[in-house]
A and B are shown apart, each in its own frame.
Chain A
Amino acid sequence: MSTLEIKGLHVSVATDETSKEILSGVDLTIRAGETHAIMGPNGSGKSTLSYAIAGHPKYEVTSGEVTLDGEDVLAMSVDERARAGLFLAMQYPVEVPGVSMSNFLRTAATAVRGEAPKLRHWVKEVKEAMAELDIDPAFAERSVNEGFSGGEKKRHEILQLALLQPKIAILDETDSGLDVDALRVVSEGINRVKAGGEVGIMLITHYTRILRHITPDFVHVFAGGRIVESGGSELADQLEEHGYVRFTGKQEPAAIG
């Protein structure tokens, strides 16, 4: 059973000349089978947390540590982290022109699994995973994310989650920009992965809406670059009702009216 441990994490982002601290001491432990919702207003540093764990070069870890089953994640390259079992579903998936989705998925699966999946099984596996997410098979031959709608991109992030079977999955605002149907499909996809009980999930979201589909074991409120309060799912209900005002001093709803 895997554990992701984040201790005293401080992260800065380099701007033109100066460096600005975004995360000011994050402590969080996620174990396999647990789902942690990270909720916070815009600009609180939620996305920075996800990018820093995944190893985006723009973010510099100034102190603290991140370990996966005791291994030092921060010492690993981006691809090593993924192969170690970390997965980041991005808020803004990147377009890669000229690279077909099927080629990309197979290359990624080969890297993460350590060997090329047997072609016959692989085709079936991808087909089924796509069908479960209501993705038209024609997308397999399209360039990665190119010209996809917001909802199509998010479905494909969850498709990758399902195929790559990470130990720890970080879902960065996977719910943003989704209509009701797409939210349901994507949430069901996440729940299928979750039902295996072997993955730990960090669900980053601004709104409580997705938590009606995916029940978190823990809810953490993120503000000012760190976790300011933790609790169970009842904390999400409070946020639904009162917004983030208690944590930020200004009105910002967590529910969509």
Chain B
Amino acid sequence: MTSVAQTPHSHGAVVPKASRAEQFASFDVEAFETPGGREEIWRFTPMRRLRGLHDGSAPATGELTVEVDGPDVTVETVGRDDDRLGAAGTPGDRVAAQAYSSFTTATVLTVPQEVRAGVTTVTLTGPGEGKVAYAHLQVRAERFAEAVVVLDHRGSGTVADNVEILVGDGAKLTVVSVHDWADDAVQVSAHHAKLGRDATLRHHLVSLGGDLVRVSPTAVFAAPGGDAELNGLYFADAGQHIELRTFADHAQPNCKSNVTYKGALQGDGARTVWIGDVLIRAAAEGTETFELNRNLVLTEGARADSVPNLEIETGEIAGAGHASATGRFDDEQLFYLQARGIPEGVARRLVVRGFFHELLMKIGVPEIRERLEAAIEAELEAVGA
């Protein structure tokens, strides 16, 4: 019955040419070659639109303003010499290293041990149109702490930054990173999460605005028993490039990771890229991992790339799988809803809302969920869908 079918494609377990384990990493920007755009990790990115973040031609001309609103956390502004910095991970590409080499002060946000914190909102405002900023943020949930931290990116300009997320033993941390930039903004960001023993991380990435947004969330396990969920919701409009590169790095036994990314695209030149790397190293017995990417292409002229990479170096795992599908809007769903009297525009919105519903429900912060629902409605109304 389907005239425009979903086109699910299930790859076999894709084993990348170069192992993710061997990817170069350094804090020093000069240790990286300047990428030209053909490298595996850059080949989807329109390099010209990076405004020089990748080749050293974009000195800092402004700052990312950081405001923290949360009663139960401590906030420090620290210098480059603070020896806590860099604990969660090492930059894995030249822009992340550029950010690490270029920031002047960093913000460290700590949830003290055994504290159950309310919602903390960190508002990160861009340097302004035509300006460039480099930034560094570290979020620390100490032993048995429980917290929800919202990183709310807004404003204009060009930004490269690293976010470190340290989840202590037995801690439960939810990070909701909302990238709701103005139309001109360019951001390249790396999130480095490190989980202690029996730690739980719920990482939700929401990318809506900006001209080009490339975020690379990585979860590594420092001890057994960790549980990381990396969720992502993105909506690209005409001309927007949204690139999200997740990496679950299993080097410890009995850890879990679950990656769920869903995107919608509409308008000419709307472009999304999802790269989902999972590496199960030899020591990571008992690993359980699954990753899923779904893209919903709402109009002609939009393109979604979806690349799951799964590397498994031990047979002693609990489970590993992935799924990826990119489909056009399902006309049968539309017909069914319309056949019940529901006008086309309302029906389209119902279907898209339904598509994101599962991910929105996972974000356990009602005010953020409501804001995102409203933002999705606004996106849909913009094209009169």
Contact = CB atoms under 8 A, between A and B. Distances in A.
B354 A79 contact: no
Nearest to A146: B354
Contacts of B341: 79, 82-83, 108, 111-112, 164
Nearest to A86: B339
Central interface residue in B1, B332, B340, B351, by most chain A CB within 10 Å? B340
B337 A57 contact: no
A96 B350 contact: yes
A99 B350 contact: yes
A77 B344 contact: yes
B344 A93 contact: no
Contacts of A182: none
A127 interface: no
Given A98-B355, A107-B350, A143-B354, A77 B338 contact: yes
Contact of B337 (A55, A77, A96): A96
Contacts of A93: 336
Interface string B319-340: 0000000000001110111111
B342 A99 contact: no
Interface string A35-76: 000000000000000000011111000000000000000000
Contacts of B356: 98
Interface string B86-97: 000000000000
A96 B340 contact: no
B335 A94 contact: yes
B335 A98 contact: no
B338 A78 contact: yes
A107 B333 contact: no
Central interface residue in B338, B346, B350, B351, by most chain A CB within 10 Å? B338
B338 A79 contact: yes
B344 A99 contact: no
**Interface SS, A side:** mixed
A235 interface: no
Interface string B1-24: 101000000000000000000000
Interface string A97-115: 1110001100110011000
**Interface SS, B side:** helix
Given A56-B335, A107-B350, A98 B358 contact: yes
Given A57-B335, A99-B351, A108 B342 contact: yes
B339 to A, nearest CB: 5
Interface residues of B, number: 25
Interface string A157-198: 000100010000000000000000000000000000000000
Contacts of B331: 57
Contact of B335 (A78, A83, A112, A164): A78
B7 to A, nearest CB: 16
Interface in A196-229: none
Nearest to A89: B339
Interface in B342-385: 342-344, 346-347, 350-351, 353-358
B357 A99 contact: yes
Nearest to A88: B339
A156 to B, nearest CB: 11
B338 A107 contact: no
A96 B335 contact: no
Contacts of B340: 79, 82, 104, 108, 111-112, 160, 164
A112 B337 CA distance: 12
Central interface residue in A58, A79, A92, by most chain B CB within 10 Å? A79
A90 interface: yes
Given A97-B354, A98-B353, A107-B350, A90 B336 contact: yes
Contacts of A57: 3, 331, 335
A160 B342 CA distance: 13
Contacts of B333: 94-96
A107 B351 CA distance: 13
B325 to A, nearest CB: 12
A110 B359 CA distance: 27
Contacts of A160: 340
Contacts of B338: 55, 77-79, 82
Contacts of A95: 333
B344 A79 contact: yes
A57 B335 CA distance: 8
Contacts of A55: 338-339
Nearest to A166: B341
Interface of B: 1, 3, 331-333, 335-344, 346-347, 350-351, 353-358
Q: Which 3 A-B pairs have the closest CB atoms?
A: A98-B354, A98-B357, A82-B341
22 contacts: A55-B338, A56-B335, A77-B344, A79-B342, A79-B344, A82-B341, A88-B339, A90-B339, A94-B332, A94-B333, A94-B335, A96-B336, A96-B337, A96-B351, A97-B357, A98-B353, A98-B355, A99-B354, A99-B357, A107-B350, A108-B340, A112-B341
Interface of A: 54-58, 77-79, 81-83, 88, 90, 92-99, 103-104, 107-108, 111-112, 143-144, 160, 164
Given A83-B341, A96-B333, 17 more contacts: A57-B3, A79-B339, A79-B340, A79-B341, A79-B344, A82-B339, A82-B341, A96-B350, A98-B353, A98-B357, A98-B358, A104-B340, A107-B342, A108-B340, A111-B346, A112-B341, A143-B354
